[in-house]
């Protein structure tokens, strides 16, 4: 059986199982969504967002790109953030990186690894600044894998900071004091998520933006 035929067959089995467990589930989901969080993670096939959190359909609004980057010049991620905040009014944004991230490793390893992949280079090249800014502390690590895992954590924190600087997030903080921002790291080797950093709207955030906008 072809891989894709297996997927279609499994889909029928999944839908039947879901309906057997909860006969109204698809009727409910068909009527609309009210997810609790926007989830931004890497495309890596080993990081299936809903599965690793035991989340149900309808609970996570998901965007994935290589190395889970938030770039204000990327219309894809920015449109997802806009919709999540202004249409769905999510309470949380979770940036979930993962140890052993190939995108991070490519950015650390330099041009050679990415010569044949110009679009990936254009996307993850922005990480070079982050790597350069932490060059001294990265020199402490002798193994490339340890260096990668450290940059994975730095990257998640950097993306949370980027989110905190976006006008979309600032406007939402001023209007409703949400979302709370979270930086998490998933460990492929253990299946566990570490909570690395979080950032909630403060009074100063909300008032500062209101003043700037008036
Ligand atoms: Zn990755």
Q: What is the pLDDT of residue 109?
A: 84
Q: How far apart are CA 53 and CA 190, in angstroms?
A: 14
Domain(s) of CATH 3.40.1050.10: residues in the chain: 37-213
Q: What is the dihedral of CA 51, 37, 40, 97, to 10 degrees?
A: -60
Q: What is the pLDDT of residue 213?
A: 63
Q: How far apart are CA 84 and CA 208, in angstroms?
A: 23
- Ligand 1 centroid – CA 95 distance (Å): 12
User: Residue 153 in contact with residue 179, Cβ under 8 Å?
Assistant: no
Q: Name the residue among 89, 34, 85, 82 with its Cα closest to residue 57.
A: 34
Q: What is the pLDDT of residue 209?
A: 62
- Cα separations in angstroms, 165 against 12, 118, 142, 177, 181: 43, 28, 34, 15, 11
- Ligand 1 centroid – CA 169 distance (Å): 25
- Ligand 1 centroid – CA 68 distance (Å): 7
Q: What is the pLDDT of residue 205?
A: 83
- Ligand 1 centroid – CA 167 distance (Å): 27
Encoded tokens for 163: 């989110």
Superfamily of domain 37-213: Carbonic anhydrase (3.40.1050.10)
DSSP 42: -
Q: Name the residue among 206, 187, 203, 198 with its Cα closest to residue 52.
A: 187
- Ligand 1 centroid – CA 67 distance (Å): 5
Give one DSSP letter per residue of 107-163, joined into a string: HHH-HHHHTT-HHHHHHHTTHHHHHHHTHHHHTT--SHHHHHHHHHHHHHHHHHHHH
**Number of C-beta neighbours around residue 64 at 10 A:** 16
Query: What angle separates helix 75-82 from helix 167-176, to the nearest 10 degrees?
Result: 10
Q: What is the pLDDT of residue 210?
A: 65
Partners of residue 37 on adjacent β-strands? 60, 92
Burial class from Cβ neighbours inside 10 Å (0-12, 13-18, 19+) for residue 39 reads buried
Burial code of 150-175, b = ≥16 C-beta within 10 A, e = fewer?
Answer: bbbbbbbbbbbebbbebeebbebbbe
Say if strands 180-186 and 60-64 run parallel, antiparallel, or are unpaired: unpaired
- Ligand 1 centroid – CA 44 distance (Å): 5
Catalytic residue IDs: 42, 44, 46, 98, 101
What are the residue ranges in the chain where pLDDT is below 70? 111, 113, 208-214
């Amino acid at each position: 059986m072809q891989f894709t035929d297996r997927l279609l067959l499994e889909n029928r089995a999944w839908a039947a199982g879901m309906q057997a467990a909860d006969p109204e589930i698809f009727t409910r989901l068909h009527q609309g969504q009210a997810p609790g969080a926007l989830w931004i993670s890497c495309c890596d096939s080993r990081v299936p967002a809903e599965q690793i959190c035991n989340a149900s359909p309808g609970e996570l609004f998901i965007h994935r790109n290589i190395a889970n980057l938030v770039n204000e010049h990327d219309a894809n991620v920015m449109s997802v953030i806009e919709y999540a905040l202004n249409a769905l009014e999510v309470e949380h944004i979770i940036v979930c990186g993962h140890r052993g991230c190939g995108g991070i490793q490519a950015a650390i390893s330099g041009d050679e690894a990415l010569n044949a992949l110009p679009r990936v280079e254009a996307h993850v090249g922005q990480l070079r600044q982050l790597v350069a800014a932490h060059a001294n502390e990265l020199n402490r690590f002798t193994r490339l894998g340890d260096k990668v895992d450290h940059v994975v954590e730095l990257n998640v924190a950097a993306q949370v900071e980027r989110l905190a600087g976006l006008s979309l997030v600032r406007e939402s903080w001023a209007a409703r004091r949400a979302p709370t921002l979270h930086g998490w790291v998933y460990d492929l080797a253990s299946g566990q998520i570490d909570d690395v950093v979080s950032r909630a709207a403060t009074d100063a955030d909300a008032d500062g933006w209101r003043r700037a906008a008036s």
